[in-house]
Amino acid sequence: MTERLYYSDAYLTTFSATVVALDDNGRRVYLDRTGFYPTSGGQPHDLGRIGGVAVTDVIDEDDRVAHVLAEPLRVPPGATVEGVIDVARRFDNMQQHTGQHLLSALFADSFGWPTVSVHFGDETSTVDIAGTGLDNDVLRDAEARANAIIFENREVSVGFEDAATAVGLRKPSDRDGTLRIVTIDRLDRSACGGPPVRHTGEIGNLLLRRAERTKGNTRVEFMCGMRAVRRARLDAELLTTAARVFTAAPDDVPALVEKQQQRTLDLERENRRLATELARYDARARWEAAMPDAAGVRRIRIEHESGPVKEVEPLAQALTALGHILVLITSASPAGVMLACSVETNVDAGQTLRAALATVGGRGGGSPRLAQGSLPDAHAIPSLATILGFHS
């Protein structure tokens, strides 16, 4: 059984321990005691060094803690080694961990939304709560309340109590025996094995970035301490850059972006209208230039230089609207094909193209009036055109 030193002292940065066992040619190390926190409860593991060798992973194996090293630890079982914990990473994780306790307690007490699950990431963390209706006003309010508690610098303490007699826990524990309980003064008591800070002031600050619906709950993205400072700085720089593009003040950017977006939508709508009108003129010229066969059906082949054949669909639609026509559109890059048939031809575009594509290793289909597909490469286009009756 590994004695877990972080249970009683989250600020421990160095310790000595005895090597109990080695595995994986010395890359997996078991100690009689450790200050390294393993991945647990969604919180990332510590990093650091053992006996001068870098620790890359720490794994909770129930009674034991396994330390995975970058290189073999070249000492025998029974040897004493020194463990050194990456302080910056540990303290950052402690800030996020304690900030989550605070945030979960606040959501439950102030809004009646209990926490469902938590995830701690390298850059941001999330808490899923059983509640809906978290708009920007609610997020702003929750963030202000959380930071007010942080600024009060309330004590955060760790204690050990018997599960049978422990009362006032935010979430009842299903474990027996001794519970490790993390308490935020006048706010929260939770059974937890993670390392917290000693006072809420050490969280630094708490930033709520966004909330989104997920599986009937709401996921809130948050970050604490220097993570929040770095993110706020980056957000400010991004906003300033956008403001420079608009030659405006940062506060005016949202309205200007919305205005620009509407202008883009209007231009796209006008572009589609003009493209449709141009396609009608082009279609009339092509239709009149094509010679009808004995049945009065015109065949027009269009070779699209590059891009999806879908881009030429307005022209195909305009041509079929003129009647008595079959239209074949091909593109070499990407290798694709479109077949359009007016109703008077009695040709089913979907069935006809699907059968033709099968003979050249392509795939596709569609409706009786319009179908499209893909080809293995451009070399299949001449054969496909011949099969469909469009000769060069």
pLDDT tens across 11-56, in order?
A: 999 999 999 999 999 999 999 999 999 998 778 999 999 999 999 9
**Mean per-residue pLDDT for 223-245?**
95
Tell me: do 52 and 105 sit in the same domain.
Answer: no
**280: which 2 tokens?**
């009608």
Would you say residue 392 lies in a domain? Answer: no
Would you say residue 227 lies in a domain? Answer: yes
Choosing from 36, 66, 85, the residue where a domain stops is 85
Tell me: do 73 and 110 sit in the same domain.
Answer: no
Tell me: do 113 and 240 sit in the same domain.
Answer: yes
Tell me: do 221 and 114 sit in the same domain.
Answer: yes
List, for residues 353-390, the tens digit of each pLDDT value.
999 999 999 999 999 999 999 999 999 999 999 999 99
Considering Cα of 128, then 129, then 134, then 137, what sign does the dihedral take? negative
Tell me: do 72 and 55 sit in the same domain.
Answer: yes
Tell me: do 144 and 239 sit in the same domain.
Answer: yes
Provide CB contacts within 8 A for 287, sequence distance 6+.
298, 300, 319, 322, 325
Tell me: do 227 and 326 sit in the same domain.
Answer: no
Query: What pLDDT sits at residue 174?
Result: 86
Query: Which domain CATH number covers 334?
Result: 3.10.310.40
| Residue that the structure tokens 């479109």 belong to | 338
Query: Which domain CATH number covers 36?
Result: 2.40.30.130
Tell me: do 287 and 371 sit in the same domain.
Answer: yes
Tell me: do 148 and 222 sit in the same domain.
Answer: yes
Would you say residue 373 lies in a domain? Answer: yes
**Residues of the chain with pLDDT > 90: what percent?**
91
Alpha helices in the chain (DSSP H): 87-106, 136-151, 225-246, 253-289, 313-321, 349-359, 381-387
Residue numbers of the domain that contains 233 = 91-244
Provide CB contacts within 8 A for 72, sequence distance 6+.
25, 26, 27, 53
The number of folded domains in the chain is 3
Choosing from 196, 224, 244, the residue where a domain stops is 244
Tell me: do 40 and 133 sit in the same domain.
Answer: no
**Residues of the chain with pLDDT > 70: what percent?**
100
Would you say residue 266 lies in a domain? Answer: no
Q: Residue 362 in 3-state DSSP?
A: coil
| Residue that the structure tokens 């990431």 belong to | 121
Would you say residue 262 lies in a domain? Answer: no
* Contact predicate 117/54, CB 8 Å: no
Tell me: do 239 and 175 sit in the same domain.
Answer: yes
pTM comes to 0.74
